């Protein structure tokens, strides 16, 4: 039954107002609910942030506190260490070979053989020519620029007409070595900085150096290189040997050399192991040399090359004691500054050379 006055699709005013009221009320409640949820999430997020911030502050405080305590402990330890006496160097024995150090000297000073051993380990007192002294001085005193160093090295303090091959032999050695290493430093490819095996590098370094020192006295000492042996050394193969020349001592070996590693190829462990092997094998040569001289002590000069450095030792046997003395250890030059430093060491190297020649001559008497 249809209501009077209304069409089939028409709604009463009451129905329209009723619907509008409850629609607004529901939307309002929904908005209120959404707002409440949003506020709850915000409060939860704030609490989480506050909690994390508080935890972070606590952790930072703990870390800072521990760091302060650690620093205090380290400072106290450093202060304690600074009050301790510095450790003294202790000689490391290779077999029964003694180092000529303070400990050995103190022990031997109580014996009558001390002065004799000290004398046998000493280098010969030699003099240098005035030309050599002037040449080295002009190199050492110049600034380490390539141009200035080149001028100093290539400027001879003696004219060609005044040069004497015997009187100025020391100058000739110095000039040849200075020119050689300067050429290597100025070369387009810096071979002294490149990785290479010991025998390859030795051709431009150790072998060239030793040959230059002894070429003017090759009637006294003959040099042999790379996998060489002699009667005195038995089946042992050496990288280098210096043999006495003459019928008086045909098997004497005043000098031995070993290449323990070259440029960027071997470690210090390799150097130490080869050095020990060198000294132990050199003992037999020391004993073999003794048959040629009852006056001069049993002696051999040892050369060890490792990583662009050369170590020079003397090994003697005195009263059944093997004693090793280090003469010097020097770096072969790869820069202008190092070349100047090398020039300053040439006087001592020439003294070492003269001592070897003197030793050979003593074996022949």
- pLDDT tens-digit map of 47-70: 776 777 777 777 777 777 776 666
Q: pLDDT above 90 covers what percent of the chain?
A: 39
Q: How far apart are CA 338 and CA 140, in angstroms?
A: 11
Query: Residue 101, SS3?
Result: coil
| Range in 58-62, 131-135, 236-240, 306-310 the model is least confident about | 58-62
Q: How far apart are CA 237 and CA 286, in angstroms?
A: 16
Chain-wide mean pLDDT for the chain? 81
> Could you tell me the pLDDT band of residue 357, with boundaries at 50, 70 and 90?
very high
- Stated as kind and residue range, the H or E segment containing 322 is strand 321-331
Q: First and final CA of the chain: distance in angstroms? A: 157
* Strand-pair category, 97-99 with 298-306: unpaired
Give the pLDDT mean for 144-173: 94
| Range in 39-53, 272-286, 322-336 the model is least confident about | 39-53
Q: Tell me which residue of 353, 354, 332, 310 sits closest to 180, measured CA to CA.
A: 332
| N residues, the chain | 365
* Strand-pair category, 255-259 with 298-306: parallel
> Could you tell me the pLDDT band of residue 91, with boundaries at 50, 70 and 90?
very low
> Could you tell me the pLDDT band of residue 100, with boundaries at 50, 70 and 90?
confident
Q: Tell me which residue of 120, 353, 364, 327 sits closest to 223, measured CA to CA.
A: 353
C-alpha neighbours within 13 Å on the C-beta side of residue 195: 3
39 against 179, higher pLDDT = 179
- The contacts of residue 204 (CB under 8 Å, 6+ apart) are 184, 191, 192
Which tokens belong to 146? 């390539």
Give the pLDDT mean for 338-362: 95
Q: Residue for token digits 């040959």?
A: 211
- The contacts of residue 91 (CB under 8 Å, 6+ apart) are 98, 99, 101, 103, 104
49 against 8, higher pLDDT = 49
Q: Tell me which residue of 309, 244, 236, 217 sits closest to 279, measured CA to CA.
A: 236
Query: At CB < 8 A and 24+ separation, what contacts does 78-86 make?
Result: none
- The contacts of residue 169 (CB under 8 Å, 6+ apart) are 216
Give the pLDDT mean for 339-349: 97
Question: Over 70: is that where the pLDDT of 290 sits?
Answer: yes
């Amino acid at each position: 039954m249809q209501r009077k006055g209304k069409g089939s699709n028409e709604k009463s005013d009451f129905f329209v107002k009723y619907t509008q009221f409850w629609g607004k009320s529901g939307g309002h409640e929904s908005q209120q609910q959404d707002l409440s949820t949003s506020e709850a999430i915000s409060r939860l997020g704030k609490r989480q942030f506050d909690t994390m911030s508080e935890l972070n502050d606590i952790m930072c405080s703990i870390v800072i506190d521990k760091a302060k305590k650690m620093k205090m402990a380290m400072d106290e330890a450093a202060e304690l260490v600074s009050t301790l006496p510095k450790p003294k160097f202790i000689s490391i024995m290779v077999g029964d070979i003694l180092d000529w150090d303070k400990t050995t000297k103190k022990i031997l000073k109580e014996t009558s053989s001390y002065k004799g051993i000290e004398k046998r380990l000493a280098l010969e007192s030699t003099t240098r020519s005035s030309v050599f002294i002037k040449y080295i001085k002009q190199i050492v005193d110049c600034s380490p620029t390539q141009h200035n160093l080149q001028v100093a090295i290539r400027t001879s303090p003696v004219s060609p007409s005044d040069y004497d091959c015997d009187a100025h032999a020391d100058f000739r050695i110095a000039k040849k070595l200075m020119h050689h290493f300067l050429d290597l430093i100025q070369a387009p490819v810096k071979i002294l900085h490149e990785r290479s095996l010991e025998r390859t590098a030795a051709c431009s370094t150790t072998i060239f150096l030793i040959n230059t020192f002894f070429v003017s006295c090759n009637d006294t000492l003959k040099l042999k290189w790379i996998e060489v042996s002699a009667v005195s050394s038995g089946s042992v193969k050496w990288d280098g040997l210096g043999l006495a020349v003459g019928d008086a001592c045909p098997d004497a070996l005043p000098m031995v050399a070993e290449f323990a590693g070259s440029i960027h190829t071997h470690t210090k462990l390799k150097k130490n192991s080869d050095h020990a092997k060198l000294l132990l094998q050199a003992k037999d040569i020391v004993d073999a040399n003794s048959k040629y001289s009852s006056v001069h002590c049993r002696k051999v000069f040892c050369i060890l090359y490792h990583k662009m450095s050369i170590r020079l030792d003397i090994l003697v046997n005195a009263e059944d004691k093997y004693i090793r003395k280090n003469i010097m250890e020097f770096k072969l030059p790869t820069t202008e500054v190092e070349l100047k430093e090398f020039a300053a060491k040439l006087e001592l190297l020439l003294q070492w050379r003269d001592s070897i020649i003197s030793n050979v001559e003593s074996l022949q008497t």
